[in-house]
Amino acid sequence: MERLHWVQHRCRQLLTTDSERGWYSTPNGLPTKSSQDAHSSPQRVSGKRRRVFARNGPHQQEYEAVSKGYKGNGIRTTKYSLLTFIPMNLFQQFHRAANLYFLFLALLNWVPVVEAFQKEITMIPLLVVLTVIAIKDALEDYRRYLSDKKVNNNVVQVFCGKQKAYIDKCWKDVRVGDFIRLSCNEIIPADMLLLYSSDPRGVCYIETANLDGETNLKQRQVVLDLPFQGGEITLENFHSRIECENPNNDLSRFRGYMEHPNGVRVGLHNSNLLLRSCTIRNTETVVGIVVYAGHETKAMMNNSGPRYKRSQLEKRLNTDVLWCVLLLIIMCLTGAVGHGLWVKNLKDPIFETDTETSPALAGFYVFWTMIIVLQVLIPISLYVSIEIVKLGQIYFIHNDLALYNEQLDSRIQCRALNITEDLGQIQYLFSDKTGTLTENKMVFRRCSIYGVEYPHKENAQRLEVYEAEENEAAGRSVTLKSGCSRKSLSCRSLSCNRSSVSLHTLTAESEEEDRLSNHIQSRTSAFCSRVAREVVPDPELVRKLSWLCSPAQPLSDGSSGTPCSLELTYITDFFLALAICNSVVVSSPSQPRHVVPEARTPLKSLEEIKLMFQRFSFSPFSALSTPQIRGSPRSFTSRLFSRGKTGSFTFSTPPNSTTDGSETGQENNLESSNLRRKLDLSSREDGGGAGQTEREDGIDDARIDPDGFGQKVEDLSKEDDCESDTDDELLYEAESPDEAALVHAAQAYRCTLRGRSPESLLVDLPGIGSLAVQLLHILPFDSNRKRMSVVVRHPLSGQLVVYTKGADSVIMDLTETSKGAEQAQEIYSHVREQTQEHLDSYAREGLRTLCIAKKVLEEEEYEVWLKRHLLAESSIENREELLMDSAERLETNLTLLGTTGILDRLQEEVPETIEALQRAGIKVWVLTGDKKETAINIAYACKLLRPDDELLTVSCGSKDACAVLLQELKLEVQRGGDRLMEPSAVESRSESSLSSPADFILVIDGCTLEWALQEELKSDFLELSCRCKAVICCRSTPLQKSQVVRLVRDQLGAMTLAVGDGANDVSMIQVADVGIGISGQEGMQAVMSSDFAISRFKHLSKLLLVHGRWCYSRLANMILYFFYKNVMYVNLLFWYQFFCGFSGGLMSNSWVLILFNLLFTSVPPIIYGVLDRDIPADTLMELPELYRAAQTSKIYVPSMFWINILDAFYQSLVCFFVPYFALAGSDVGDLSFGSPINASALLIILLHQVIESHTLTWIHVLVLAFSAASYFGFVLLFSLFCVTCSPPTNPLGVETLQMSQPLFYIICTLTTVMALLPRLLVRALHDTLNPATALKTAQMDKVDSERYCKRMRRWNQNHSRVNRLPVSADNPGLEPSTDTVVS
């Protein structure tokens, strides 16, 4: 309480003395009752703050005045209402240039002098397109409406001032200033300040999975200095007012203050704010006051809706549409000039003409008439067809079982609906490492303490056993499934109707995303898989820890095989730091609220501890009297946990505890009882390997056990078994898998974190028992400091200790320099050198490294720092910067304790995926924040690097050095590229390697990358990178990741794809042409910012190589086909103008003209764009080179566009002039002449698609038959029953007469064959000259048949030798029966 009063006092002093800090501060010092009127006047800067009063409080006038401008809590994500749907939808649709163009043509046809055909007919294409899109928009908006209705009608308890009680209200009826009461598992309806918690410490736990996908619990604190704090809440007495910042979308920041009636102001920060859509966990009741509601909440302000990106194909399409517009203008100008010349040269006409209009004006009129007649040249239905095709493609991607994750019950999410074709054109892939290439399921692997390396060989064997078990269970190489206990916290297991609602306050996504969100919430968030929890201790480290419990054995200087007192101090401090230097929340089924349990009676009395201190001798280091050494290894806190009585590892267990121990622990401790080694600092200079050998050599010596050490470890084994059940009941809610892995590692060595509160920690220590450690401060981890620290005061020694863990690149620089006695300098230098060697060794093995350090504070030093820190905590503006500066002041002159190596295994099939992507011609870059050695090791493991590749490391200390090194490496790559292409080198290289410029791998660190990305050097860096097979950027920041992606995208014009799983990958995901988020262990921030969301990295191969290639080829061919058929049909009308005086006349009725492209030939291209497959999926997966071949021979390029246009011109000439010459000299009319032309055009266009299609299914046949039948059925019915449907022409009986004559069918057959024959010949010639794809497909079929034959032979061998040669692990040459059984 004294510290709390000190904080209050300093806050008041701050508000009094620092009046010029910002709009939250008081203009005239500390507020008093007499100055409250001045405070209520708007003297501060307007537009920067929001005032909140209690809705049922005494300030009713103020509430009414300020609440008018605040939004209600009802949300609306729909675009339209019943009244606004038609006008708003039309307004949005007419933003498209094509729709405006056709609206202009429809209106133009109403002008009499340029009228081409009936006015109503010209409206049909536009009306059909607008109607189809309007129906689609209406269905989407109705789905949003249902989702909004479901959310708005959720019920919550709101305080009613009239009834003086809480009543049920819908979320939509909640207003700013309302008091809301929530229970466990309820979802928070609005952003509100936490005023009361049933937890006596004023703490509330929330889960933010609905907001950011993170399932770990986060702690929120009740606002300080409330009148009812610590007791029952009486809302009638709440007379305070709140002033805070205006609504914004920053989820991690909230600033403001609460002013009490006595004038005292209390700062408000993010820890006091409960955000909408989060869920209350492990807290029975909370009460808060709403400050932001509805669309002003941070959750809703972060709802940016579905992402929209323009694909490269769409950009190319717009260019070609402009070419079509130019072609249309040329045709219309030709008609206008031709008509003018025809009118001018017309003499003595035998038919009635307008002789009063001048030729120039007549030509002008005909220009606009031709625009109307030839309007089909601009494909209005193409845009609608593209949208339908993309929806169909997304449907098949979404339902691909190969992209389904059974473990998570999740499938791929397509969040950007308009860039599916870009998946088939990727050239550069930028990937994060942790959680993207790896599992992000951290497992404690090994550690180094006091410069001594502990390899934990049994732990490594355990991981291999787990992996083998998982592989056997799954039948393939898969990730370790979470074996975390499914024991739910009792508060979470409560049945709550409201908690079952999947909240959709962020986006109105599909029900599939609802299920994914619910599944994420149902999973454990503690990162407590079985493999992470069951850490096997290192026998040597267990042996040393056992000396803590052996009073009969004196500690030595380490030269006689026993650990020295200083080393034991390091070891105990190391594991204590692992246990308490974190933000882990502890719970168990019996303690669901995460409170600190009442400490059990320590196993030693205070008198025993006092005697233990007296026996604990530091005589070999009595000369270490400098403050640095005295403050660390000889600290009173460390000595507290050093010695004790035999058997003091025994903990008191509940009566119902069982004594069954784990087999792993028994085996480990049995081995520990046979271990004894000689400890000598000088023997450790060769690193962990030498130590490991000595431990192995000392096994025989351990059988001679004069001191009874073996018996002690056996006793420890039994006691460990007795407590294993109790420890297993603990549930750790960690913010990251690293934290959970370290806490479980400390637990394996009996240093167990059992409880946490804001002020204290309950820790079990070996030889001591349960101790309540006073927690003074937590300096949380941030990406700038790259470390976290805790400041604790030991309850018995009273010393102030800072424990710090963080990245080795930071901690090693913050450790103290060697000063004082010569022996101390030698020891500390040795510890630093050995630890650095172990760090490098861990990194080479691909382990994630963290350094552990400590610092003992003097009381005076702490008081000085505390004053500055309290100023930073109570500051309202610049609080984050001040807190960071305060933390950096404390984290200096640290004593290095040791380091940890944590294993983060590769995801399944990552090497195969990267190899396939490289074979497909995609350059893979890895952008990671890990150190260089770790990144290189992972690159080797995932086959990004191969043993014969040459590494180019760029690590410089200055910008000038970076420039010189880049130039040198460019020359080296050039020389190396020439060398690699020599015949001797070519023979040893694969086809995929030959295709790359050179097999060089560039590795660059974050500091050097900062210089390389500057304007002067980025061109050299980019040139060097392009000549390398792959690039690895280590120690890179999120900003640098996005800068690298932007550099490649903009400078090279390449198609880029970025994939990541965490919040630090969001920037590069958004910058890339295609962003892919992985729903992993780090929440859903990357998924929410991505275009596509997958659950495993291996899904990229199927997504890109198969679906990407299919989507691109389908859509590109469909667009080319659309242009072809429109140009082909329009040209028929154009050729007819040469025979009708360019008057805009038609040889068919206007209904057929309009419906030809709109109905009769519109459906087949859509089916073609959705279902066509040029190469089967299995072939594309086996031969990734086909992806690169599709890129090099692009389908949709200008040359292909013009080839199709020329082909359309040729086919139109054939289709027009064959009937013309066949019917020349006859007495047929215009409509009779147009009948075989239209029929031939239909057959040519449909059969053209059959030729271009690679797949022909019953669906294709059905659609083609339907198109032909619909045309002939329409024209026949039109000819039979329509007399005045198409004035001034009369189509009655025309089609029936033509179709009854054999000449009609002869003309159609001859025209169709002549028009399509060149296309068939060119296709056959192309396949003959470029047989690569066809041959590879055939080769693939041959490979499949060979595999089938091999399986048959193996099957026959197995059955013929089944009695004497069984399939087992002893016969590796044989495959399991699952691969050999043939049905």
Position of tokens 């390091």?
570
SS (H, E, C) 135-160: HHHHHHHHHHHHHHHHHHCCEEEEEE
pLDDT at res. 238:
83
- Lookup: tokens for 840: 């490098």
Helix extents (H) in 616-698: 627-630, 636-640, 663-672, 688-697
- Lookup: tokens for 536: 């096997």
How far, in Å, CA of 432 to CA of 608, rounded? 53
How far, in Å, CA of 197 to CA of 287, rounded? 7
Amino acid symbol at 264: V
DSSP state of 589: T
Q: Using alpha carbons only, what angle is made at residue 600 by residues 598 and 602, rounded to the nearest 5 degrees?
A: 140
Q: Is the dihedral of CA 307, 311, 314, 316 positive or negative?
A: positive
Q: Using alpha carbons only, what angle is made at residue 475 by residues 470 and 480, rounded to the nearest 5 degrees?
A: 25
Do 436 and 1078 touch, CB atoms closer than 8 A? Answer: yes
Q: Helices H, strands E: what count in the chain?
A: 49, 33
DSSP state of 351: S
Q: Is the dihedral of CA 1032, 1038, 1039, 1044 positive or negative?
A: positive
How far, in Å, CA of 1241 to CA of 1125, rounded? 9
Closest residue by Cα to residue 294 from 502, 160, 152: 152
Q: Is 586 helix (H, G, I), strand (E, B) or coil?
A: strand
DSSP bridge partners of 755: 762
Backbone φ and ψ for 835, nearest 5 degrees, come out as -65, -40
What pairing do the DSSP bridges indicate for beta strands 923-927 and 1030-1034?
A: parallel
How far, in Å, CA of 287 to CA of 689, rounded? 58
- Lookup: tokens for 463: 């991981």
- Lookup: tokens for 789: 């620290």
Do 265 and 15 touch, CB atoms closer than 8 A? Answer: yes
User: What does the pLDDT look like over 1267-1307, one tens digit per residue?
Assistant: 999 999 999 988 888 767 766 677 778 888 888 999 999 99
b/e sequence 824-855, b meaning 16+ C-beta within 10 Å: bbebbebbbebbbbbbbbbbebbbbbbbbbbb
Closest residue by Cα to residue 1280 from 1270, 1290, 1289: 1290
Alpha-carbon distances, residue 709 vs 541, 562, 644, 718 (angstroms)? 13, 11, 14, 15
How far, in Å, CA of 1157 to CA of 1160, rounded? 6
Do 118 and 1287 touch, CB atoms closer than 8 A? Answer: yes
Helix extents (H) in 346-439: 359-373, 380-398
Closest residue by Cα to residue 178 from 49, 334, 19, 63: 63
How far, in Å, CA of 378 to CA of 376, rounded? 5
How far, in Å, CA of 292 to CA of 282, rounded? 24
Other CB atoms within 10 Å distance of the CB of residue 358: 12
pTM of the model: 0.68
Do 572 and 779 touch, CB atoms closer than 8 A? Answer: no
Other CB atoms within 10 Å distance of the CB of residue 394: 19
Beta carbons within 8 Å of 307's beta carbon, 6+ residues apart = 415, 416, 1091
pLDDT at res. 1225:
85
Amino acid symbol at 154: N
How far, in Å, CA of 1148 to CA of 307, rounded? 45
Gyration radius of the chain's alpha carbons: 39
How far, in Å, CA of 1242 to CA of 1169, rounded? 19
**Torsion angle in degrees (nearest 10) through CA of 938, 941, 942, 947:** 110
* 727 labelled catalytic: no
Helix extents (H) in 925-1026: 932-941, 959-980, 983-987, 991-995, 1006-1012, 1018-1026
How far, in Å, CA of 797 to CA of 637, rounded? 6
Q: Is 378 helix (H, G, I), strand (E, B) or coil?
A: coil
DSSP state of 775: E
User: What does the pLDDT look like over 509-526, one tens digit per residue?
Assistant: 333 344 434 443 333 444
pLDDT at res. 808:
86
DSSP bridge partners of 926: 431, 1032
- Lookup: tokens for 26: 């008081």
User: Consecutive sets of 10 residues in the chain, 1383 residues long: mean pLDDT of each?
Assistant: 42 39 34 33 48 81 81 88 89 81 85 79 82 87 87 92 89 93 92 89 80 70 73 75 87 85 84 90 90 90 64 82 91 93 78 74 91 84 85 90 82 83 92 81 88 86 68 44 32 34 35 40 48 81 79 50 76 91 77 50 46 40 32 34 32 34 35 32 36 36 36 40 51 80 91 85 84 88 84 79 90 75 80 91 84 92 90 75 88 92 84 91 89 81 83 87 91 73 45 50 90 90 91 87 92 91 82 86 70 89 92 91 93 92 86 85 91 88 86 79 94 95 88 92 94 89 94 89 71 85 94 93 81 55 58 60 36 35 30
Backbone φ and ψ for 431, nearest 5 degrees, come out as -125, 140
**Catalytic residue among 199, 432, 720, 1065, which?**
432
Do 1226 and 1220 touch, CB atoms closer than 8 A? Answer: no
How far, in Å, CA of 1110 to CA of 421, rounded? 8
pLDDT at res. 591:
57
b/e sequence 257-281, b meaning 16+ C-beta within 10 Å: bbbbeebbbbbbbeebbbbbbbbbb
Length of the chain, in residues:
1383
Output the furthest CA–CA distance in the chain (Å, rounded): 136
Determine if the peptide bond prior to 997 is cis (ω within 30°): no
